[in-house]
Structure 1
Amino acid sequence: MPLDVDAEAFEALVVEELDALPDEMVDGLENVVFVCEDAPEDGSDILGEYQGVDLTRRDRYGFGELPDRIVLFRLPLLAYCRDLDELHDEVHVTLVHEIAHYFGIDDDELHRLGWG
């Protein structure tokens, strides 16, 4: 049976895990918003998604740019986890994974590093 965590409680959990990340991981983030949504529009079961142009591919980036987005999907994460401890762990891993994409680290490298 999937966990039952409403949108407000899920967002609070994400903020808690984001605050727990090491400063050196989040200090370099610029013009990025973190968003919680129920599920991906395409119906897939991904847990999170980085939407933007990673730092390694940016040419000119400056004033007036819309922020990049790191999205965590509540329903797939709840379906993936058995309990709240596992949900905390998976939100943490998903945040690290998507932040890594912002810095230009691809899925192959994340798998090699154990974050895939």
Structure 2
Amino acid sequence: MALELDEEAFETIVTDELDQLPDEMVDGLDNVVFVVEDRPEDGSLDLLGLYDGVALTERDRYGFGEMPDRIILYREPLLTISADEDELRDEIHITLVHEIAHYYGIDDERLHELGWA
């Protein structure tokens, strides 16, 4: 049974979990916005989050006027896999770390080795 939480309460938890991340992880984020959406475009519940941008390791020129990269968290999939609020917080935290890692150019294979995938 999926956890139920309205959009505002969910976004508050996302903000709380962002605040819990180590400074060295978030201080390097440049021109990145965090977005909460209900579901991925395909409507599936399989994807918890997405990094939409160009990783630091792959950037050629990046400067003034660039659209911000986005880190998207999908509310309904995260609620579906969470039995309670503590579990939801853990899943949001892991998803944030995972997507921020993609910003820094860390791929899924390396994240798996580090225990974050």
TM-score class, shorter: over 0.9
Which stretches of structure 1, 4 residues or longer, exceed 2 Å deviation after superposition?
A: none
Sequence identity of aligned pairs in percent? Answer: 71
Q: Return 5+ residue gaps in structure 1 as ranges.
A: none
Aligned residue number for residue 79 of structure 1: 80
Relative to the length of structure 1, the TM-score reads 0.98
Q: Partners of 1:81 and 1:2 in 2: how far apart?
A: 6
Q: Give per-residue Cα distances to partners, 1:69-107, cap 9 Å, x unaligned.
A: 000000000001111000000000000000000000000
Aligned residue number for residue 3 of structure 2: 3
Aligned residue number for residue 42 of structure 2: 42
Q: Return 5+ residue gaps in structure 2 as ranges.
A: none
Give 1:62 shift: 0.2
Q: Partners of 1:33 and 1:42 in 2: how far apart?
A: 22
Q: Partners of 1:113 and 1:79 in 2: how far apart?
A: 25
Aligned positions, number: 116
Q: Partners of 1:13 and 1:83 in 2: how far apart?
A: 13
The one-letter code of the counterpart of 1:40 is P
